[in-house]
């Protein structure tokens, strides 16, 4: 049996194979993920956004960064250097001699396979004379020739070659390790040991420990765990949080503390510039001694946020720190909302806890809008547009126009809008119209259901209610042509009343259609005008199947003619049914057949709709949608912001959340969102609101009423006819089982 032998590669050839593979595994994926994307494409995208977003701060910063950045060049140089090493190693490997190849004695003797023994001897004689060591030949080559000659002429050697590929018989299996032999050389043992110890006992633990220490400090949304705990403490401590208190809690985040975040900077000039800004801002609760609001980093972040909302001019150093704070605010506000939702769920499930009020959650959403647009809460949403100043608002809020929001401005006629904005030149007016046309408005449709229930439109106490909200995004430029159509706003949606009721399922009550038809006929009969005695006498004088209105058409008015003809037709139908019961039975059979066909058709349609909704949900779970939707027009925000929305259901009367806010980050054109919540445990009518809020624009929020009628839940059936098994059937089953056992025992005895 052949043995095994492990040996290092003395020549170093296999090490080049290993090194080439290792470099290729690094260079190829790195090129795919790290190669800079086409700069021309980014330039073209910025160029297409220039007309609308050219005045935005983030656009100007991005344009300057794309021109000055050398990071793409460095990435390309590093990747090209890696490819150069990879190609060099591949070329080196291609030039290496093959050490492990099949032994062929014919090739050694320079003969073709299958030649005669005489030709083999003749060729061996010629080559041996040429390579004999005594005549100055190569001894190694002479040994190869002798071995090849023996393999072809000696029967035993030939059998070994044909069986094992070697004239000497089976050889020891050797495995080469792709490392050069100098690594295990005794002379280099201390150096190799030092390198191994440095790599695996110092560098690797430091790298892993650093990564682990940093990762445990952050949550999944890259928010410091200490910051989340801070928000949890103050949200529980202050369930009703006004805007001033919210600003203090937000700016107390540890992301702004240099001890927790190295990106935050405390400058020596802050002792001069920050107090000056505090005097300009006025009362910002500087004397508040409650930690951490009194800490220097929290006070500085609060001042920077308030100066941003007030659109104040600051120095370059303060402006750089201000941009850092503003970039962090949207994610931190989202974390506060998440914390509020967690506290609400805990208070609902456990009880005894104070849940945050609805105003606290909505103030976070409003503050996000204010941060992105750089506006204070009391300011007009019209200041989001370019070239609008405080002194220009008097033209808009005058008694003639009464324009206070962006939808109001869109709803004006072109002539009135141009006349109102007469303080703008043609170029500025066109820019304002371009920006206004790019701002979105959302068409929101709601559908209330109880999924996984026989009666999906009947809401019972404690059932899980699903509100499917369909959002369709459009641009306000599409409404310039439709000046009479009002845009959806918070005020108009709050005044709307949902009069349309959901249809009942066709399999619930099959006889409802006939009952409704009978009721409608009775109502029609009661609404008819009273008939005079003369007309009644005239009716009696006529034949049963004749026209009632026959002689009175000429003398009666048109309205009376219609009423009398309706009465006549109904009376004729009634008399005909009385006289012919067989016809009445046929009509009832036909009606029942049509009802069954309609029910079957509706069942198929609803089944198909249910299957489509299930497939759509499955696709939504599998698909990973991009969060890049549409860039937000923001004059003072330092980073490109995408249009995202909050969608939730709330009880505005009780100031509580009914469903947790869903952060819709993938709304490009159309998006379908499901909001689920448990129905109240008590029966009755409830008035909720479906609320859509932007996290970037002010004045585009929508509120839509949602009426909920809760019924009593059906009682669980203790006994069902299918569960009742007669005693006789049980006895028969037991008898059959016993008979089968006896028969099997008798068969076994017979076999024995």
Backbone angles phi, psi at 686, to 5 degrees: -125, 140
pLDDT digits (tens, 9 = 90+) for 270-286: 999 999 999 999 878 77
Measure the CA angle with vertex 479, ends 54 and 55; round to 5°. Answer: 10
Q: Is 202 helix (H, G, I), strand (E, B) or coil?
A: helix
- Tens digit of each residue's pLDDT (9 = 90 or more) over 689-743: 999 999 999 999 999 999 999 998 877 666 656 555 555 555 555 555 555 555 5
The residue that leads in pLDDT, 85 or 715, is 85
Mean pLDDT over the full length of the chain = 78
Pick the residue with more confidence: 19 or 616?
19
Q: What is the pLDDT of residue 95?
A: 77
Q: What is the pLDDT of residues 196-226, one digit of tens each?
A: 899 999 999 999 999 898 889 998 888 999 9
User: What is the second-level CATH architecture of the domain 444-480+626-710?
Assistant: Sandwich (2.60)
What does the buried/exposed string (b/e) look like for 61-97 if buried means 16 or more CB atoms within 10 Å of the residue's CB?
ebbeeeeeeeeeeeeeeebeebbeebeebeeeeeeee
Q: In terms of Cα–Cα distance, which of 520, 584, 556 is closest to 548?
A: 556
Pick the CATH number of 105-166 from 3.90.198.10, 1.10.3720.10, 3.20.20.370, 1.10.287.110: 1.10.287.110
In the predicted structure, residue 256 carries a pLDDT above the cut 50? yes
SS3 347: helix
CB 461 within 8 A of CB 444: no
CA distance 228 to 331: 12
Model confidence at 407: pLDDT above 50: yes
Greatest mean pLDDT range, 13-22, 121-130, 391-400, 531-540 = 391-400
**Domain 218-379 homologous superfamily, CATH:** Sec63 N-terminal domain-like domain (1.10.3380.10)
Selection from 152, 168, 162 nearest residue 114 by Cα: 152
pTM for the model stands at 0.69
Q: Which residues pair with 175 in a beta bridge?
A: 6
Q: Helix, strand, or coil here: 647?
A: strand
Q: Is the pLDDT of residue 618 over 70?
A: no
Burial of 619-650, coded b for 16+ CB within 10 Å and e otherwise, reads eeeeeeeeeebbbbbbbbbbebbbbbbbbbbb
Extended beta strands in 464-552, E state? 464-475
Q: Count of CB atoms within 10 A of residue 579's CB?
A: 11
- Calpha distance 245→530 (Å, rounded): 72
Phi-psi region of 172 (alpha: psi -120 to 50; beta: other; left: phi over 0): beta
> What pLDDT band is residue 608 in, cutting at 50, 70 and 90?
confident
Q: How confident is the model at residue 472 (pLDDT cuts 50, 70, 90)?
A: very high
Domains of the chain: which residue ranges? Answer: 7-94, 105-166, 185-216, 218-379, 444-480+626-710
Closest residue by Cα to residue 436 from 393, 486, 478: 478
What is the Cβ-side half-sphere exposure of residue 649, based on CA atoms within 13 angstroms? 24
Assign 485 to helix, strand or coil. Answer: coil
- Dihedral of CA 253/257/259/264: which sign? positive
């Amino acid at each position: 049996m052949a043995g095994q032998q492990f040996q290092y590669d003395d020549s170093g050839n296999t090490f080049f194979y290993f090194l080439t593979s290792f470099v290729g595994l690094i260079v190829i994926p790195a090129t795919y993920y790290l190669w800079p994307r086409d700069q021309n494409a980014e330039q073209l995208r910025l160029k297409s956004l220039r007309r609308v977003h050219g005045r935005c701060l983030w656009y100007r910063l991005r344009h300057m960064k794309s021109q000055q950045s050398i990071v793409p060049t460095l990435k390309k140089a590093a990747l090209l250097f890696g490819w150069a090493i990879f190609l060099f190693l591949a070329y080196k490997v291609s030039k290496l001699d093959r050490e492990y190849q099949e032994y062929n004695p014919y090739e050694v003797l320079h003969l073709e396979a299958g030649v005669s023994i005489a030709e083999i001897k003749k060729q061996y004689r010629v080559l041996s004379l040429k390579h004999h060591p005594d005549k100055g030949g190569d001894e190694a080559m002479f040994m190869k020739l002798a071995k090849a000659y023996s393999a072809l002429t000696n029967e035993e050697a030939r059998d070994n070659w044909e069986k094992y590929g070697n004239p000497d018989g089976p050889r020891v299996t050797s495995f080469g390790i792709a490392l050069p032999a100098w690594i295990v050389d005794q002379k280099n043992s201390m150096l190799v040991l030092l390198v191994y110890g440095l790599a695996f006992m110092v560098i690797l633990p430091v790298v892993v420990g650093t990564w682990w220490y940093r990762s445990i400090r952050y949550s999944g949304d890259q928010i410091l765990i200490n910051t989340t705990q801070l928000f949890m403490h103050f949200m529980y401590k202050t369930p009703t949080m006004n805007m001033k208190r919210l600003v203090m809690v937000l700016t107390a985040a540890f992301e702004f503390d240099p001890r927790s975040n190295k990106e935050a900077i405390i400058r020596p000039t802050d002792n001069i510039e920050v107090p000056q800004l505090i005097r300009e801002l006025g009362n910002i609760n500087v004397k508040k001694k409650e930690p951490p609001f009194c800490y220097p980093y929290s006070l500085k972040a609060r001042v920077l946020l308030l100066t941003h909302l007030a659109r104040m001019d600051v120095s370059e150093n303060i402006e750089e720190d201000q941009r850092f704070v503003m970039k962090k605010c949207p994610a931190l506000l989202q974390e506060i909302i998440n914390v509020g939702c967690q506290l609400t769920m805990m208070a609902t499930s456990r009880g005894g806890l104070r849940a945050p009020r609805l105003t606290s959650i909505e103030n976070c959403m409003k503050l996000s809008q204010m941060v992105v647009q750089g506006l204070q809460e009391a300011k007009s949403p019209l200041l989001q547009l370019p070239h609008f100043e405080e002194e220009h608002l008097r033209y808009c809020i005058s008694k003639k126009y009464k324009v206070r929001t962006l939808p109001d401005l869109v709803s004006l006629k072109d002539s009135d809008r141009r006349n109102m904005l007469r303080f703008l030149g043609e170029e500025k007016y066109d820019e304002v119209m371009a920006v206004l046309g790019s701002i979105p408005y959302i068409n929101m449709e709601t559908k209330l259901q109880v999924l996984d229930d026989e009666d999906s439109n009947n809401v019972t106490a404690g059932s899980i209610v699903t509100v499917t909200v369909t959002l369709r995004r459009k641009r306000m430029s599409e409404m310039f042509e439709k000046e009479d159509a009002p845009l959806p706003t918070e005020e108009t949606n709050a005044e709307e009343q949902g009069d349309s009721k959901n249809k009942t399922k066709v399999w619930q009550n099959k006889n409802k259609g006939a009952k409704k038809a009978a009721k409608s006929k009775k109502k029609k009969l009661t609404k008819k005008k009273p008939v005079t005695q003369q007309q009644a006498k005239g009716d009696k004088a006529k034949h049963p199947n004749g026209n009632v209105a026959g002689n009175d058409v000429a003398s009666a008015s048109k309205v009376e003619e219609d009423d009398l003809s309706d009465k006549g037709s109904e009376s004729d139908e009634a008399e005909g049914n009385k006289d012919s019961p067989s016809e009445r039975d046929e009509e009832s059979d036909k009606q029942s057949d049509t009802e069954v066909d309609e029910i079957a058709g509706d069942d198929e349609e609803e089944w198909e709709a249910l299957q489509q909704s299930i497939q759509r949900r499955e696709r939504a779970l599998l698909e990973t949608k991009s969060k890049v939707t549409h860039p937000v027009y923001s004059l003072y925000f330092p980073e490109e912001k995408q249009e995202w929305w909050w969608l939730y259901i709330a009880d505005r009367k009780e100031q509580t959340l009914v469903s947790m806010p869903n952060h819709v980050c993938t709304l490009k054109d159309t998006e379908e969102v499901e909001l689920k919540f448990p129905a109240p445990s008590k029966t009755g009518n409830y008035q909720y609101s479906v609320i859509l809020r932007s996290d970037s624009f002010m004045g585009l929020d929508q509120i839509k009423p949602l009426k909920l009628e809760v019924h009593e839940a059906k009682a669980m059936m203790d006994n069902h006819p299918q569960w009742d098994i007669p005693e006789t059937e049980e006895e028969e089953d037991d008898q059959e089982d016993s008979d089968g056992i006896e028969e099997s025992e008798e068969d076994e005895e017979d076999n024995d």
